[in-house]
C-alpha cells in the first residue's frame, strides 16, 4: 500500500503559527480554492487552530479572466518560489510537467501536497508516493476522483478493515453530461461537449474526457486505494464515448437501457490462476431502473463491493470548480490539522455557536388527507384555512368516498414547503371545521 498520508512528527508546529498555502493553478478549481481560503478564512482558522494564509497563486497568464479574482498581487509565474515558501502546496495546474517536478520538489523538502491531478497520479503515482514516504510529507488527492464525492478517504480509512472486491461507477462528469444531454434532449455530441467545457467540467484537453482516459486514470487511482498497489493508466483497457451515436442511444432506449461510461476495477483470476486486478473503462448499457441510470448531468456515482460491508454507493457532483474545491479543501484542512495539532481536531469547534431550534421551525412539504362533506363551499373553506396560515397548496385531488361510514369525499393536498408550526396550525383549524369529518393523515414529503 503506498504511503499516502505519512505521520510526520517533524511537521508539528506551534498551534499559534499560521500555515502558508501555495496554490499552483488559478483556473476553474484553483480560483474556487482561492475563494474559499479567502472568504472562509475565519472558519478555517478555527477548524485548523491556526490561520491558513494564501501565499500566492502560480498561473501561466497573470491577467487572465477568472471565475474568482484574488488580490492581483497574489498571482505569480514563479511557481518554484511559491513552493519553497509554503507549508502546504496545492497543485491544480493539471498535466504532467511542470506539475510533477513541483510536487516532487515540495515532497522532497518535507512539504505537504494536495493535488487533483489524476493524469499525473495515474502516470507517476508510485514516484510521488515514494517521495512522500521518504520525507514523511503528506500527499492527498481526494479531488482527483469523482470531484466533491468523498471516495478515496472512505476506501483508505473507513474500509481499511474490510476487503474490497470491486469498485465500479460513473467517474467522469463530462461524458455523463454529454450522454445525458444526447439521450434526454437529443443534443448533438458537439453541442453537449461545448456546454460541458463552458461549465468547467472538461479537462483542458477534452479528448481525455471523451476518449475515456480521464475515467481510466480514475480507475487506476481507485484500484490503488482499493487493492493497495500503485496501478497505472497503461494497465487500464480504455474505450471512450466518441463512437456512441444517436442511433445507439435510440436502440438502447428501445430495449429499456441507457448508455453510461463506466470505470471498473475488480479482483480477477487469470486463466493460469494468477490473482490480480482487472481495470477497464467502456460505454455500458445499464437498465433504466438501475441506480446508475438515474445519475444525470455531471454527477458521478461509485459503487463499492466489499467482503463484509456489502454494497456501498457514493454519489454527488463529479466535476466543476466549487465542488472539486470542496474536496481539495477537505484535504488541506486535514493536513493542516495534522501539522498544527499532530492529528485531527477532536471536535470541530463551531465559529459561532449554532443553537438547536424548535423543530416546529422546520420547513417541509406535506401531504394532507382530509375526509370532508361532499357539498358546495367545502373546498373554499378548506383553502381559506391554508391561506390564513400562509401555507401554499401545490396540488389538490378530490376522490369520492362512497364506501365510507359517513359519505363524502377525500381531499389529498400537497403543500409547498412551509414552516411546521404553520402547518400544525392549519391542521388544528381544519379539524375544527364542520365540513371536515377527519384529518385522516399528515405525512411529510421530501425530495420533490
Ligand atoms: N475542472 C474540474 O471539474 C476538475 C479538475 N480536476 C483537476 O484539477 C486540475 C485543474 O483543473 P482546472 O482548474 O479545471 O484547470 P484549468 O485549465 O481551468 O486551470 C489550470 C490553471 O493552471 C495554470 N497553469 C497551467 N499550467 C501552468 C504552468 N506551466 N505554469 C503556471 N501555471 C500553469 C493555468 O494558468 C490555470 O490557472 C487538473 O489536474 C484537473 O484534472 C479534478 C477534478 C475536477
Ligand atoms: N474532466 C473531469 C473533471 C473531474 O474530474 C470530469 O469531467 O469528470
Ligand atoms: Na473525490
Sequence-ordered list of residues with C-beta below 8 angstroms from that of 14, at least 6 positions apart, any chain: none
Q: Whose CA is nearest to atom 12 of ligand 1?
A: 28
Q: Which residue has the cell 467540467?
A: 201
At residue 417, φ and ψ (nearest 5 deg) are -60, 130
Query: Is residue 443 annotated as involved in ligand binding?
Result: no
Sequence-ordered list of residues with C-beta below 8 angstroms from that of 403, at least 6 positions apart, any chain: none
Catalytic site includes residue 218: yes
At residue 232, φ and ψ (nearest 5 deg) are -120, 165
Q: ipTM of this complex > 0.90?
A: yes
At residue 427, φ and ψ (nearest 5 deg) are -60, -40
Per-residue pLDDT of the chain (448 residues; tens, 9 = 90+): 344 443 343 444 444 579 999 999 999 999 999 999 999 999 999 999 999 999 999 999 999 999 999 999 999 999 999 999 999 999 999 999 999 999 999 999 999 999 999 999 999 999 999 999 999 999 999 999 999 999 999 999 999 999 999 999 999 999 999 999 998 998 999 999 999 999 999 999 999 999 999 999 999 999 999 999 999 999 999 999 999 988 888 899 999 999 999 999 999 999 999 999 999 999 999 999 999 999 999 999 999 999 999 999 999 999 999 999 999 999 999 999 999 988 776 655 555 677 888 999 999 999 999 999 988 999 999 999 999 999 999 999 999 877 777 778 999 999 999 999 999 999 999 999 999 999 999 999 998 7
- Cβ(382) – ligand 1 distance below 6 Å: no
Sequence-ordered list of residues with C-beta below 8 angstroms from that of 83, at least 6 positions apart, any chain: 22, 24, 89, 102, 105, 106, 109, 111
Query: Is residue 161 annotated as involved in ligand binding?
Result: no
- Cβ(200) – ligand 2 distance below 6 Å: no
- Cβ(173) – ligand 2 distance below 6 Å: yes
Query: How far out from the chain centre does Cα 335 lie?
Result: 20
CATH topology of domain 158-317: Dihydrodipicolinate Reductase; domain 2 (3.30.360)
- Rounded-to-integer distance, Cα 328 and Cα 100, Å: 18
Distance, CA 441 to ligand 1 centroid (Å)?
Answer: 53
Catalytic residue, candidates 105, 153, 156, 218 = 218
Name the grid cell of 179.
450522454
- Say if residue 99 is exposed, middle or buried (CB neighbours under 10 Å; 0-12, 13-18, 19+): buried
Asked whether 325 and 245 are in contact (CB, 8 A), the reply is: no
Per-residue DSSP letter, 11: G
Mutate to test the pocket of ligand 2, among 116, 120, 147, 320 (most ligand atoms within 8 A of CB): 147
Distance, CA 116 to ligand 3 centroid (Å)?
Answer: 9
- Cβ(240) – ligand 2 distance below 6 Å: no
Decide: helix, strand or coil at residue 367.
strand
Distance, CA 25 to ligand 1 centroid (Å)?
Answer: 6
At residue 172, φ and ψ (nearest 5 deg) are -130, 115
Alpha-helical (H) ranges within 112-263 are: 118-135, 152-153, 173-185, 189-198, 207-210, 213-227, 246-254
Query: Is residue 118 annotated as involved in ligand binding?
Result: yes
Q: Would you state the CATH architecture of domain 362-445?
A: 2-Layer Sandwich (3.30)
Alpha-helical (H) ranges within 246-320 are: 246-254
- Cβ(101) – ligand 1 distance below 6 Å: no
Distance, CA 382 to ligand 1 centroid (Å)?
Answer: 57
- Rounded-to-integer distance, Cα 85 and Cα 21, Å: 9
* Smallest-distance ligand from the CA of 118: 1
- Rounded-to-integer distance, Cα 181 and Cα 175, Å: 10
- Cβ(26) – ligand 1 distance below 6 Å: yes
The domain ranges of the chain are: 11-151+321-344, 158-317, 362-445
Q: Would you state the CATH architecture of domain 11-151+321-344?
A: 3-Layer(aba) Sandwich (3.40)
CA proximity to 315, closest of 148, 448, 142: 148
Amino acid at each position: 500500500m503506498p504511503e499516502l498520508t505519512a505521520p510526520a512528527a517533524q511537521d508539528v508546529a506551534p498551534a499559534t503559527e499560521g500555515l502558508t498555502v501555495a496554490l499552483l493553478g488559478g483556473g476553474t478549481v484553483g480560483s474556487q480554492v482561492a475563494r474559499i481560503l479567502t472568504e472562509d478564512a475565519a472558519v478555517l482558522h478555527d477548524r485548523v487552530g491556526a490561520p491558513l494564509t494564501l501565499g500566492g497563486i502560480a498561473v501561466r497568464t497573470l491577467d487572465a479572466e477568472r471565475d474568482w479574482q484574488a488580490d492581483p498581487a497574489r498571482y505569480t509565474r514563479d511557481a518554484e518560489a511559491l513552493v519553497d515558501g509554503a507549508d502546504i502546496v496545492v497543485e491544480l495546474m493539471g498535466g504532467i510537467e511542470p506539475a510533477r517536478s513541483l510536487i516532487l520538489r515540495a515532497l522532497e523538502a518535507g512539504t505537504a501536497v494536495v493535488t487533483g491531478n489524476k493524469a499525473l497520479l495515474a502516470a507517476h503515482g508510485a514516484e510521488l508516493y515514494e517521495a512522500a514516504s521518504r520525507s514523511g510529507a503528506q500527499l492527498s488527492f481526494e479531488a482527483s476522483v469523482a470531484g466533491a464525492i468523498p471516495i478515496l478517504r472512505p476506501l483508505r480509512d473507513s474500509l481499511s478493515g474490510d476487503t474490497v472486491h470491486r469498485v465500479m461507477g460513473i467517474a467522469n462528469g463530462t461524458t455523463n453530461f454529454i450522454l445525458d444531454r444526447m439521450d434526454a434532449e437529443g443534443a448533438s455530441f458537439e453541442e453537449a461537449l461545448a456546454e460541458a467545457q463552458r461549465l468547467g467540467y472538461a479537462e483542458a484537453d477534452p479528448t481525455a474526457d471523451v476518449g475515456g482516459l480521464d475515467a481510466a486514470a480514475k480507475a487506476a487511482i481507485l484500484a490503488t486505494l482499493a487493492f493497495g498497489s500503485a496501478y497505472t493508466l497503461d494497465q487500464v483497457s480504455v474505450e471512450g464515448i466518441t463512437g456512441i451515436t444517436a442511433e445507439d442511444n435510440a436502440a438502447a432506449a428501445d430495449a429499456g437501457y441507457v448508455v453510461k461510461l463506466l470505470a471498473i476495477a475488480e479482483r480477477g483470476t487469470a486463466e493460469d490462476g494468477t490473482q490480480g486486478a482487472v481495470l477497464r473503462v467502456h460505454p455500458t448499457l445499464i437498465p433504466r431502473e438501475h441506480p446508475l441510470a438515474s445519475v444525470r448531468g455531471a454527477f458521478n456515482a461509485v459503487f463499492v463491493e466489499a467482503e463484509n460491508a456489502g454494497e456501498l454507493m457514493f454519489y454527488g457532483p463529479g466535476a466543476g470548480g466549487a465542488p472539486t474545491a470542496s474536496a481539495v479543501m477537505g484535504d488541506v484542512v486535514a493536513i493542516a490539522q495534522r501539522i498544527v495539532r499532530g492529528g485531527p481536531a477532536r471536535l470541530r469547534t463551531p465559529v459561532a455557536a449554532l443553537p438547536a431550534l424548535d423543530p416546529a421551525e422546520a420547513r417541509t412539504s406535506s401531504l394532507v388527507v382530509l375526509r370532508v362533506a361532499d357539498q358546495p363551499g367545502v373546498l373554499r373553506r378548506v383553502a381559506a384555512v391554508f391561506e390564513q396560515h400562509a401555507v401554499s397548496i401545490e396540488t389538490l385531488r378530490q376522490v369520492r368516498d362512497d364506501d365510507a361510514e359517513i359519505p363524502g369525499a377525500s381531499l389529498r393536498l400537497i403543500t409547498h414547503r412551509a414552516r411546521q408550526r404553520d402547518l400544525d396550525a392549519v391542521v388544528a383549524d381544519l379539524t375544527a371545521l364542520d365540513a371536515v369529518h377527519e384529518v385522516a393523515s399528515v405525512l411529510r414529503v421530501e425530495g420533490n
